[in-house]
Amino acid sequence: EQYTPYWKTWSLSALPMIPERFGIRLKEGVEEQFGVIRELFGKAERIINCGDAGQEGELIQRWVMQKASAQCPVERLWISSMTEEAIREGFAQLRPQEEYRGLYEAGLCRAIGDWLLGMNATRLYTLKFGDRSRRGAQPLSIGRVQTPTLALIVHRQQEIERFVPEPYWVLSTVYRDTTFTARLDTGEEEEETKTAERERTENKGATKRGFTDRAEAEAALRAIENTPFTVTAVTKKKGSEAPPRLFDLTALQVECNRKFGYGADLTLEIVQQLYEAKYTTYPRVDTTFLPDDMYGKSKGILNGLSGLYGDLLTPLRGEKLRKSKKVFDSSKVTDHHAIIPTGVPPRALTDVQRRVYDLIA
């Protein structure tokens, strides 16, 4: 109803709601503070935009300047770390705000799209499928992120409810205090041509997991009991294992959930705290790479971690760090690089913070 009183009443005839021009308005309770900002803008010869270096931060700061009718030139501070060194470097390399117009417009398009989808789809679904018999019933909220996420959860729950557990039995033996499991192989067919169904029917009820029939499993056990085992082949392979990727926010949230059971919101809260304490870099990132110019800073960062991870870093001392495209690749870095330690030794971390920091480092 801020656009037109016609939209105050929820009705299908009012859909779709598409304003001729989108606007912004102040939240309740911030008018006094905003008045101070507007007054300062009026006196300023230039403005330095120090908002979050990302799409959302760019959009919010521009909205503030638009609402305050700022007229003076604007420069942009763009940093990925809150350390004094990074901030000084950022102020020494201020850029014209116009260079970030594309980022602002992308954020604006996202905000407009969210408004159009949320307002129209929420009213449509509520009017079509909501409980209209109860006054004050909750609307059926629809959103760009929340609705697909809810659908994934529902589909997964349906899969769980449809799942029928199937008991099975496996053969196992102990050799030198080590337990081994085994699958019966009759040798009647080549390994590469076996299928799960043929294993079930031709291998006396044995599947890739084990036997689906207990009697058959016991019969197989009796057939080989007290029979010596013979090692017929030994395969040795020499290989190398690539180091794990650096973290973006999503990968960090997944790993924290897998290792520690932390929810996505908790992980974001913790890594935001680490960022504000100058221990790690900007958290809301979508890349696992570092720009090429970070290679020259990596040794200093590692030196800053030597007090925490001395044993791990000892083999690297005196060695030249290899510059790998799997880590350093400016073409794969957008607004920010991957989440890494800043090199500032952390102090007085909680157990939860320490776990996340160790994972990043």
Nearest to 288 by CA among 328, 257, 242, 253: 328
Give Dmax (Cα) for the chain.
94
User: In degrees to the nearest 10, what's the CA dihedral of 138, 144, 150, 156?
Assistant: 160
> Cα–Cα distance between 352 and 361 in angstroms, integer?
14
Residue partners of 318: CB distance under 8 A and separation at least 6: none
Which position among 282, 295, 309, 357 bears the catalytic label? Answer: 282
Residue partners of 182: CB distance under 8 A and separation at least 6: 170, 171, 172, 173
**How does strand 74-76 pair with strand 47-49?**
parallel
- Confirm whether 262 is a catalytic residue: no
What are the φ and ψ backbone dihedral angles of 172, each rounded to 5 degrees? -145, 155
| Number of CB atoms found within 10 A of residue 139's CB | 12
Nearest to 87 by CA among 63, 61, 54, 53: 53
> Cα–Cα distance between 159 and 180 in angstroms, integer?
32
CB burial class (10 A; 0-12, 13-18, 19+) of residue 140? middle
| Number of CB atoms found within 10 A of residue 259's CB | 11
End-to-end CA distance of the chain: 50
Q: Is 80 helix (H, G, I), strand (E, B) or coil?
A: coil
Catalytic residues: 282
